[in-house]
């Protein structure tokens, strides 16, 4: 699944932001907890896929009580 938006100003255009969102999440994982770049990217991809599929309760590393 891809995360695609249609800007209000150009509703005929479609902008795929999936890769950018994954990179931002991976960068935040790196900043917050360090770790391996490849694993952070995989975890970020998993998080985005879970969000897109309507995943409920996905917490990744930051399992909140």
- Top pLDDT among 61 and 42 is at 42
Strands (E), 1-65: 4-5, 15-16
Q: Give the burial string for 26-37 (b: 16+ CB within 10 Å, else e).
A: beebeeeeeeee
Q: Is the pLDDT of residue 17 over 50?
A: yes
Structure confidence at residue 65 (pLDDT): 42
Report percent pLDDT > 70 for the chain: 83
pLDDT (tens digit per residue) in 32-43:
999 899 999 999
**CB of 22 within 8 A of CB of 45?**
yes
Indicate yes or no: pTM above 0.75. yes
């Amino acid at each position: 699944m891809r995360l695609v938006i249609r800007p209000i100003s150009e509703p005929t255009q479609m902008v795929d932001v999936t890769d950018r969102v994954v990179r931002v999440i991976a960068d935040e994982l790196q900043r917050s907890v360090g770790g391996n770049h490849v694993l952070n990217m995989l975890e970020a991809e998993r998080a985005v896929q879970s969000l897109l599929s309507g995943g409920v309760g996905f917490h990744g590393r930051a399992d909140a009580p």
